Structure 1
Amino acid sequence: MKDVTLSDYAFSGIEHGEIADLRTLDQSDKTRILYAGVDVESDSAAAVFMHMDQSTVHCETRDPGVELLDIKVAMKRYDGLPEYAWKLVPRDKDEFTRNVAENVHGGYFIRTKPGAKIARPVQSCLFLKAEKAGQNVHNIVVVEEGSELHITTGCSTAHNATSAAHLGITEYYVKKGGKLTFTMIHNWGQNASVRPRSVGVVEEGGVFQSNYVLLSPVGTLQSYPTIELNGRGAVGRFNSVIVTPEGSHVDSGNRVIMNAPDTRCEIISRTITTGGVNIARGHIAGHAVPCRGHLECKGLILGGGRSLAIPELDATVEGVELSHEAAVGKIAQDEIEYLMARGMDESEATSTIVRGFLNVDIMGLEGPLAKAIQEQVEMIDSSAM
């Protein structure tokens, strides 16, 4: 993994004022963040948050069942959030967590009311616009007992060549019977350095589902979110679709720790390397029975690059059921021949396989967001051909 030298970036002095209406953003910025899953033209979100460089510029709640605050406002209002802040991610875990702890620029605090079923997603955007900007954000999500919430977070630079660093800390709390779906879409750029650090806990009967999409270049990204299933019947799911073009170096993965009986989890990863480096990690640990976990890492190499799959299963109690499937390689010739026998030429057959491999339908994306993702898939498909 390429080193990130924090002194290369400015972590102060790049502030912005409030933006009351995100529709007034430059069209180029709106296009960039749309490809990160944020549609500022839509009124369909339950709440909207935007952090630009080193300032929260928009924070709006539209549903009485969900609370949305800038993290610094929440820390003041709730006396430092002693139940939640820095309880899952240690401040001194590494140089990146220390940098955020010492100088938090912002981030969001999202909390549902107990029993609230938030039908519309909460939409957030973490945006880097200034050249050489360093961004420190700390996010906390609390899904109260019996409530349901979907958060879509888009992270992006203003354009593909922007050189910037994003350090993001996120702590998730899913209470008894709660359900959190967290969809994150990255649209960084070839010179961005990205270091998120995320940990969550799920109580009895709770569900945490993560969807992660990275289809555009990134300089260097290191991400390894961990979820602990601490209550009976808790469920954790991770789905990720990642493409690494030439110049991109991605070291990503997911970790689930099952600490209670009747828990289950699934980690599904799809990666395509078109010249870059992709390391796909997965770790499932079972410490109670009964519990079941499955890990699946599949990677394709199209036109060069390097792809590594590193699955880990850790069972410490008799009766734990864990399985994994990992495969890295090229498109199977028999699959191409199968489609060619049904009337496609070789290019069409390969294209169909690539699009199917990158299918993000499982994530339930809709509207302009689904269209934008599909356009990116088609661009990757064309470049691969």
Structure 2
Amino acid sequence: MPKTERLTPDKFKHEAREHAYADFLGAPDLAGLIDAGRLLETGVVLGDEAERAGTFLQADHSLVHAAVNQEGLEVLSTDQARQRYDWVDKEYRWKMVPPDADEYTRHAYERSRHGYFIRALAGAKATYPLQACLYIAQEGLAQAVHNIIIVEEGAELNIITGCVSSREVKHGMHIGISEFYVKKNAKLTFTMIHNWAERMHVLPRSAARIEEGGTFLQNYVCLVPVAYLQMNPALYLAGRGALVRSNTILVGTPGSFMDVGSRVFLQAPEARAEVIARTVTTGGDVINRGRLVGEVPGVKAHLECHGLLLTPRGLIHAIPELEARVEGAEMSHEAAVGKIAPEEIEYLMARGLDEDEARATIVRGFLNVKMDGLPEELQARIDEAIRQSQESIM
């Protein structure tokens, strides 16, 4: 039984006041609503957009800013996109994630407001990352959104998304439905960083389809306390030579429960996948899942789940699964959960570090997973967040 009970949407508020739309990120009303420092911790810049290809910003149930700075890209709310294009509902919305999958998807189906619709047109190659933020400013709110990301044939797009709550918010729920479509020879790098309050319940539900020659690089980072986190995206490699790389970094703090993983279905010849997870617990319970399904010959995939226990009060449960449905599917996995070895600490202490410094160095090295496709400044912020996280841990 998890330390934190999973709550249902009916335990939260569903109505929120409407926030004004801002034509530019420096608008006074926006500055009064959004904590720029909280966003910056997730790589979202509230200010000069010169090095961003576009921005989407939603606060509670309100769209407060959407803009693009480069031709060939489109940023709308999903509600706006549905009004503008009849093909959104016909071809994309609720086509990857079934609305009746569980009570959270049903709630989103009935009550979602906005979410981001991001599209890179065929051949467009974003010069800078595009940023998106889903922000909760109201205490006790259940925010439900539906995101749709489409990268057309030959396009390249890098999205940084921050999911953030105000410093004043202590309790709430976020349900995010996300559907990704990576077309032939397209490339999408998608980095999600969570910066929620410690009593938040967070339940993303997402799926992706990657077509022939497509590449999907997925990064997920959660280093801050959160009451309940459950996510297990389904990634479908549907075209020859499609590629997925998924990196996850988690820190489970006391009182938290995290159930996180990825499912990859290799459905076409020469499809490849690599799923890597690094988990540290300082007292929280973490389930680390990974499932690879080889459906045709000639696919290759690797799964790696490593966990580090820093206290006997915490728990890490690694669940790697390999399922080969045909001959010729080549898949492998590594799973390891353990404590810091005394000899590692002794080695570093012999070179001048005290015991706390030695432990902190080991934790930082363990969490230091190089993520593909990140801008240097975001990688630096993640490295700094890891450093601060391990200092607080120690």
- Give me the TM-score of the superposition, normalised by structure 1: 0.96
Q: Report what 2:41 is aligned to.
A: 35
Let me know the Cα RMSD of the aligned residues.
1.7
For 1:230-309, list aligned pairs within 5 A.
Answer: 230-303=238-311, 304-309=313-318
What is the deviation of 1:104?
Answer: 2.0
Q: Report what 1:6 is aligned to.
A: 9
**Is 2:352 the counterpart of 1:343?**
yes
Q: Report what 2:66 is aligned to.
A: 59
- Change in 2 beyond 3 A, CA 1:27/1:4: closer
Q: 1:383 aligns with which of 381, 386, 392?
A: 392
Q: Report what 2:119 is aligned to.
A: 111
- Whole-Å Cα distance in 1 between the matches of residues 382 and 22 of structure 2? 26
Identity rate of aligned residues, in percent? 48
Range that drifts further, 22-31 or 255-264: 22-31
**Does the aligned pair in 1 maintain the 2:267–2:295 contact within 8 Å?**
yes
- Whole-Å Cα distance in 2 between the matches of residues 159 and 360 of structure 1? 28
Cα deviations by residue, 1:333-369 (Å, 9 ceiling, x for unpaired): 2322332333333322221111111114334544654
- Change in 2 beyond 3 A, CA 1:73/1:28: closer
Range that drifts further, 342-351 or 179-188: 342-351
- Change in 2 beyond 3 A, CA 1:89/1:27: closer
Range that drifts further, 176-185 or 37-46: 37-46
Q: Which amino acid aligns with 1:39?
A: V
- Whole-Å Cα distance in 2 between the matches of residues 364 and 177 of structure 1? 16
Q: Which amino acid aligns with 1:156?
A: V
Gaps of 5+ in 1: none
What is the deviation of 1:384?
Answer: 2.5
- Give me the TM-score of the superposition, normalised by structure 2: 0.94
Gaps of 5+ in 2: none
For 1:1-385, list aligned pairs within 5 A.
Answer: 1=2, 2-23=5-26, 24=28, 25-26=31-32, 29-43=35-49, 44-79=51-86, 81=88, 82-159=90-167, 161-303=169-311, 304-366=313-375, 369-385=378-394
What is the deviation of 1:382?
Answer: 1.8
What is the deviation of 1:80?
Answer: 5.4
What is the deviation of 1:127?
Answer: 0.3
- Change in 2 beyond 3 A, CA 1:224/1:70: same
- Change in 2 beyond 3 A, CA 1:53/1:355: same
Divergent runs of 4+, >6 A:
none
Say which SS state the counterpart of residue 67 (structure 1) adopts.
strand
Range that drifts further, 95-104 or 367-376: 367-376
Aligned residue pairs total 385
What is the deviation of 1:198?
Answer: 0.3
Q: Which amino acid aligns with 1:344?
A: L
- Change in 2 beyond 3 A, CA 1:220/1:283: same
